[in-house]
Structure 1
Amino acid sequence: MGTALDLFAQASHRLRRKVPFDAAVWRAVDPFTGLPTAPILGEHVTAEGCAAYWDVELGGETVNAFADLARAATPAAGLRESTGGLPARSALYRDFMRPRGLDDEMRAVLRVDGLPWGQISLFRHRGEAPFTEAETRLVAELSGPLAKRLRAFATPSADTHAAGGPGLLLFDREGRLLSVNDEARRHLDDMPPGPAADTPWGVRIPAWVHSTAARAKAVTEGRAEGGARIRIRGRSGRWMVCHASCLRGPDGRVAQTAVVVEDAPASEVAPLIVRAYGLTARELEITEHLSRGLGTGEIAAALFISPHTVRDHVKAVFGKLGVSSRRELVATLFTEHYAPLGESGTVRTV
């Protein structure tokens, strides 16, 4: 099956034959916040470039915003096509692309069942032809299949060994690292490969940590909405949660941004794992009732549907999880996934 990074590399290699591009960024996103998480594959884009990209994106970009594409009928769009050949209407073009000799961007959201699981940004240099409508349609057609593949990588069970207490990183107004504790260093050591910025502290800050901090600053300053929270699966298989908040100075302005990285509790990872199996909203409800031990008639009464419909949904759930009984269903979801997460936070006394 490989890894999500392998998926990005293979998809990029094949797509380039049909839709040529000069630089690209492939990133996984947290499906519940839309923020970038691991892994990220940058092609001919530096770590500094990734950070600058997200500073602009979270600063109020209105042209082809990822949040809008996630809900749009077509989840892909070209910058020049969307602006009628006037790309300078985009802050991303003015502040990120033009200084780097990039003249057009094709971006897409990889989504399935109403949730985003990844994003693609393809760039062409100045002097190259803009992305065409036909190329936009082709990339849009890849959205669902790639999202399903990406979603599947959330299913491996978490490592039962916690990395210690919460890690804390403190950044100044410009996003420079001010301090980092030992716990944060341990969490960062388990981060998957991807674009990261060097610091004088001897640690490298992954692009998804930087973008989470940038989102917190943008939200605090009223330039963006939503939360600044993502989940990351480390190289060990352990799930981590990264969240950020801002500290104000005496003048009321944002002075510093604190980022906390810690072991993810079961409540943070459970929704990802269940979604990773591709269950529909109704199948999720059925699964929850099955896990609570309700019978077919009880589930039908609770959801106001027929017992026959319940049985059809149960059959579909069994097929997606590869089980043949309710006992196996609970064992797969609890024993393989939820139990290891809960175990890491359990204290036993004799």
Structure 2
Amino acid sequence: MQIAAERARLEIRSLATAGLDMPTFSHAALDVLTRAVPFSVACLAPADPATNLITGNVKWGGVGDEYDEQWIYHEYEGPDPFNFQVVAGRPGGVATAMVETGGDLRSSPRFTDLYHHWDVGDEARMALQSDGASWGFLALFRDGARSAFTDAEQEYLSGVRTALAVGLRAGTIASAGTELLPAAQGPVVLVVDGADEIVRLSVGAADGLAHLTGEPIGRGPLPFSVRALVGAARRFARGQHPTVPRMRLRSRTGRWLVGHASPLLAPDGGAAEVVVTLEEARPPEIVPLVIAALGLTGRERDVVALTLQGVRTADMARTLELSSYTVQDHLKSIFEKAGVRSRRELLATVFYDQYAPRLEAGAGLGPSGWFTT
């Protein structure tokens, strides 16, 4: 068993550095992980490392999307003593339902309201962290016929968190679509009521949401990321979230977006509605995320910062007090981590396919300094 567990650990580390997109990495890593720590169902949720807000989810084990709204409610709005935000601050970054409830799962509203739909016997929750940042979260479920997650299994899960985080981090910038899309015609603005229904939306919002979800507006529940923003905004209104919720996420067409949500106060002071804004991300918002996702060392980040400014190797060496050979070594390492062969390709990767193709095609700029086509 120990040999199999160690083999699984090495396989996950290998997958994490294989340059896989997020869904492919997630499914492959979970296939491997269940051989070391058996589970019946899993949900892996990527997150914005700056805010810890969940931007989507990948499910494993045949579970569907029909209870996503309830899941998000308990994650962001319900009285959950070990939601992912709490787990992220725990030593080891792992918590289980059996331990948290003292063996009485019925004392957890999340279990009584949601997990009764399945035969859940225990849940292990993990914060997937690398270099102090959470790149996502993972929930593993065992059915009632299986035993609770043991201390040894929790220790093992804690030990593979970083590799899983590295895989999610790499998947953040893996190609998610390279078609040259027209410039956005403005932000998508939605007003969501207390029943999670869209009651108002801006002109063009239907098309904007279709890019995010792949489905026309009005069919099905709110997109997962939008519902997470709404839930976090309601927590913010109650003074339980430190800032106005904000996240960076990628649409299904590969476009980077920034979403934020604010509660609208009713005359009695209650937060009856939430306004959600989704708009195309500008380079200053995404470039730091892309650089962080490359997993660079501190000195490599210094070199990238100067590269983005167009500084020559000799000038970099003087600025950083390094030899030109050392700068070249750092550049070689950066190129390998980014999967590129030149500074030009590195710039295209950092400024990603959302902007580089437009610059290549000679897209025009408007008075605002943003692309018009």
TM range (shorter): 0.7 to 0.9
Counterpart amino acid of residue 256 in structure 1:
E
Counterpart amino acid of residue 180 in structure 1:
L
Aligned equivalent of 2:85? 67
Q: In structure 2, which of residues 136, 139, 149 is the aligned counterpart of residue 121 of structure 1?
A: 139
Aligned equivalent of 1:34? 52
Aligned equivalent of 2:292? 275
SS at match of 1:21: coil
Counterpart amino acid of residue 336 in structure 2:
G
Q: TM-score, normalised by structure 2?
A: 0.77
Counterpart amino acid of residue 267 in structure 1:
P
Quote how far apart the aligned CAs of 1:314 are. 4.1
Quote how far apart the aligned CAs of 1:96 are. 3.7
Counterpart amino acid of residue 50 in structure 1:
D
Aligned equivalent of 1:218? 235
SS at match of 1:140: helix
Q: In structure 1, which of residues 270, 273, 291 is the aligned counterpart of residue 308 of structure 2?
A: 291
Which of the two has greater strand per residue? 1
> Distance in 1 between the 2:337 and 2:328 partners?
14
Aligned equivalent of 2:212? 191
Quote how far apart the aligned CAs of 1:237 are. 1.6
8 Å CA contact retained: 2:20, 2:170: no
Structure 1: gaps of 5 or more residues: none
Aligned equivalent of 2:365? 346
Matched, 1:262 2:279: yes
Q: TM-score, normalised by structure 1?
A: 0.81
> Distance in 2 between the 1:335 and 1:80 partners?
43
SS at match of 1:275: helix
Q: In structure 2, which of residues 195, 200, 205 is the aligned counterpart of residue 179 of structure 1?
A: 200
Distance change >3 Å, CA 256–CA 327, structure 1 → 2: closer
SS at match of 2:59: strand
SS at match of 1:122: strand
Counterpart amino acid of residue 23 in structure 2:
L
Quote how far apart the aligned CAs of 1:215 are. 0.3
Matched, 1:243 2:264: no
1:49-60 correspondence to structure 2 within 5 Å: 49-59=67-77
SS at match of 1:17: helix
Residues 259-302 of structure 1: CA deviation (Å, up to 9, x unaligned): 11222222222122212221134422331123224466765676
Matched, 1:166 2:184: no
> Distance in 1 between the 2:75 and 2:352 partners?
40
Q: Aligned Cα RMSD in Å?
A: 3.5
> Distance in 2 between the 1:42 and 1:297 partners?
50
Quote how far apart the aligned CAs of 1:243 are. 1.5
Structure 2: gaps of 5 or more residues: 1-18
1:71-150 correspondence to structure 2 within 5 Å: 71-87=89-105, 90-93=108-111, 95-97=113-115, 102-126=120-144, 128-150=146-168
SS at match of 2:212: coil
SS at match of 1:51: helix
Aligned equivalent of 1:233? 250
Matched, 1:320 2:337: yes
8 Å CA contact retained: 2:45, 2:57: yes
SS at match of 1:131: coil
